[in-house]
Amino acid sequence: MATIGFIGLGNMGGPMLANLVKAGHTVRAFDLSEAALERAESAGAGRAGTIAEAAAGAEVVVTMLPAGQHVRGVYTGEGGVIGAAPAGALLIDCSTIDVDSARAVAAAAADAGLRMVDAPVSGGVGGAEAGTLTFMVGGPDEAVTAARPILECMGKAVVHAGGPGTGQAAKICNNMMLGIQMLSVCEAFALAKRLGLDAQKLFDVSSKASGQCWSLTTYCPVPGPVPTSPANRDYAPGFTAAMMLKDLKLAQQAAAAGEAATPLGAAAEALYALFCNQGEGDRDFSGIIRMIDGQSQG
């Protein structure tokens, strides 16, 4: 069992920390939110007063932070992880951020004699709570091998994508596909409604035909066909529209930098921006069907 510093205890980080504690690890938690720290203590973690205190003496440091600037600050800023962690410590960043930030922080860690992987996740809050996340991991072979047993305490699949930053690349490509596919499913159900085709009948056909995809069979955006989907809970998240918009923006930034043509990704970003600007950012991303179908918001 390892001594782990865990920084970032939001909707995803809090349950991930709890699963590390359940696995028998000793975890010291840090977050700017007092309520998040109290929940971590209730889950069995110790409390750290600063980032440096969470990292000091830790064999492993795990972070789950909002964006690239936060990751850069937590790792390379004054009092940050890289300056406080002991030589040889393993750093695991599970945030979803831009590839350039991931690679810059990994290089700084390597220069300090620390091992680091970028390990963004797929699976949402439900996956974090159930310990069934998928991790897309970028980093050197030895660091990924060392990180695997820690990640397996929080997820069901660990995929080594390649060198530093490739975990982030895999995540933003995957979520661009997810955002586009969800929009296609929403449009199909809105069209079916206007053509007099029952939603369950469309699901029965498409879930067994060429229209089949995760957004349909696991996360169907209309109530009924998939009882566990957010559509049956007034689109309580899951995975918020604001988080989907963040990932689509990252994909478009990467596409511009790499001179890749992603017109459907750009269209998906624009639609999710419109949905979020209507005050729906905290709703599950599948709730965009309400906008596509012309239903009132709020």
249 a catalytic residue: no
CA–CA dist 54, 32 (Å, integer): 13
Closest CA to 138 of 171, 181, 176, 186: 171
Q: Concatenate the DSSP letters of all residues of the chain into one string.
A: --EEEEE--STTHHHHHHHHHHTT-EEEEE-S-HHHHHHHHHTT-EE-SSHHHHHTT-SEEEE--SSHHHHHHHHHSTT-HHHHSPTT-EEEE-----HHHHHHHHHHHHHTT-EEEE--EESHHHHHHHT-EEEEEES-HHHHHHHHHHHTTTEEEEEEEESTTHHHHHHHHHHHHHHHHHHHHHHHHHHHHHTT--HHHHHHHHTTSTT--HHHHTT-SSSSSSTTSGGGGTT--SSBHHHHHHHHHHHHHHHHHHT---HHHHHHHHHHHHHIIIIITTSBGGGGHHHHTTPPP-
Question: If 0-12 CB within 10 Å is exposed, 13-18 middle and 19+ buried, where does residue 257 land?
Answer: exposed
Contact 62, 4 (CB under 8 A): yes
Give the residues across from 159 on adjacent strands: 136
The catalytic position among 171, 193, 246, 249 is 171
Q: Which residues are catalytic?
A: 171
